Amino acid sequence: MTRPSKTCPICKKPADKEYTPFCSNRCAEVDLGHWLGGRYRIPTSERPAPLAANDEDED
């Protein structure tokens, strides 16, 4: 039984074993940028906590 070839989730090219599940380091870094930029989000029913006031004195 053969496995279907995996494709890169960013560009859809065949995945490279070295960068699995991506095809290259570039696509891996693009994906990381999406996470860090807030593009990917996990849905939740929780509301965000209110922002705390800054306790430092401003001069």
Stated pTM of the model: 0.63
Q: Which fold has domain 1-40?
A: Erythroid Transcription Factor GATA-1; Chain A (3.30.50)
How far is Cα of residue 28 from the mean position of the Cα atoms in its chain? 9
What residues does each domain of the chain span?
1-40
| Placement of tokens 């401003």 in the chain | 58
pLDDT, residue 1, reads 55
pLDDT tens digits for range 23-53: 999 999 999 999 999 998 888 898 888 887 7
pLDDT, residue 42, reads 83
| Placement of tokens 């807030």 in the chain | 38
